[in-house]
């Protein structure tokens, strides 16, 4: 009898630190993994929301940029982290909708190995060119690339990024052939388009709207359902005759699988409050972003619907990353 009591007491003592940590959550800084380099749209959005969450959580959120392998490097870090609420990540189309179709085998499952915490934003992608590129309009661009198959390069933040798949979808819909030049992030890709080393790319408005408005690149079309307020003179792809080519980058927050429901709920609440904060909302509008507040279940449903939508598209384009 005494031995049983002793074992019970030891078990309770071992559990006590976890109980205290859970009750006091968060009791230490939170690491927010961004699977892209600093300076791109994903990084800007994560830092903006993380700063707004700091007051409500009473803890710092430290952004940790871990780019590479079509976001798989960052995803693997989070998938294998402790589900204690102190490691989260930004996840976009690559991890949530593309990679299961692009890779024959992933070291994790987007469905099984993560807790879906909440949505952040979505923003359309624009087809942009260097200002000196001889095609001044979308019609001119289409005629030029058709006349020079394979000789026009395009940049992207990396293999399997939303920007890469947007151009592959464009190529498929228009029956054109451009050559892909992948970079390690949106910032260096955009830098080379602005510098004229690569003539074009699909650019997310989170990183690119100010650059387009300043004239450093020229937008030819927007992959959105309707024109963007910040670029009222830029037509949609549908308006210029490219059907079924809406292309958005969407972002949300994941944590390791098994995150306690109370911690998931707390993080989701803080994310939604951050998205509603006037300063955050204004900055998102300035960058052409659409906020995606909601429940973890809504974010999960949206992500899986996108995975189902892009599966046939990726198969049709023939893109594979291994």
Cα gap 195→275, rounded to integer Å: 34
Residue 88, phi-psi category: left (phi > 0), alpha (psi -120 to 50), beta (remainder): beta
Beta bridge mates, 3: none
pLDDT at 60: 96
pLDDT at 261: 97
Domains, in order of start, for the chain: 2-122+251-317 (3.40.190.150), 124-222 (3.40.190.10)
pLDDT at 21: 41
pLDDT at 228: 87
Cα gap 54→266, rounded to integer Å: 13
- Single pTM value for the model: 0.81
Cα gap 130→190, rounded to integer Å: 10
Cα gap 119→139, rounded to integer Å: 36
pLDDT at 23: 57
Quote the longest CA-to-CA distance of the chain.
Answer: 88
Of the chain, the percentage scoring pLDDT greater than 70 comes to 93
> Which parts of the chain register pLDDT below 70?
1-23
pLDDT at 159: 87
CA distances (Å), 151 to each of 148, 179, 230, in order? 6, 7, 32
Going by their DSSP bridges, the two strands 179-182 and 153-156 should be labelled as parallel
pLDDT at 249: 87
């Amino acid at each position: 009898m005494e031995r049983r009591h002793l074992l019970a007491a030891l078990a309770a003592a071992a559990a006590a630190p976890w109980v205290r940590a859970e009750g006091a959550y968060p009791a230490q800084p939170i690491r927010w993994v961004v699977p892209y380099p600093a300076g791109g749209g994903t990084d800007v959005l994560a830092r903006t929301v993380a700063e707004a969450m700091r007051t409500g959580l009473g803890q710092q959120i430290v952004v940790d940029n871990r780019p590479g392998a079509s976001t798989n490097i960052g995803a693997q870090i989070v998938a294998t982290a402790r589900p204690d609420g102190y490691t989260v990540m930004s996840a976009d189309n690559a991890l949530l909708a593309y990679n299961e179709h692009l890779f024959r085998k992933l070291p994790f499952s987007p469905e099984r190995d993560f807790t879906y915490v909440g949505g952040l934003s979505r923003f359309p992608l624009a087809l942009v060119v260097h200002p000196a590129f001889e095609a001044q309009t979308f019609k001119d661009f289409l005629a030029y690339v058709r006349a020079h198959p394979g000789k026009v390069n395009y940049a992207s933040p990396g293999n399997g990024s939303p920007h890469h798949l947007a151009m592959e979808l464009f190529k498929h819909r228009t029956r054109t052939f451009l050559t892909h030049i992948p970079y390690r992030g949106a910032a260096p890709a955009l830098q080379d388009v602005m510098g004229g080393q690569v003539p074009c790319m699909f650019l997310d408005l989170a990183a690119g709207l100010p650059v387009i408005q300043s004239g450093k690149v020229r937008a030819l079309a927007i992959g959105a359902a309707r024109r963007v307020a910040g670029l009222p003179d830029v037509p949609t792809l549908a308006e210029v005759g490219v059907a079924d080519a809406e292309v958005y980058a969407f972002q949300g927050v994941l944590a390791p699988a098994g995150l306690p429901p109370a911690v998931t709920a707390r993080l989701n609440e803080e994310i939604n409050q951050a998205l509603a904060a006037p300063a955050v909302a204004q900055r998102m509008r300035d960058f052409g972003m659409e906020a995606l507040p909601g429940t973890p279940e809504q974010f999960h449903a949206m992500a899986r619907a996108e995975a189902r939508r892009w599966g046939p598209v990726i198969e049709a384009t023939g893109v594979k990353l291994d």
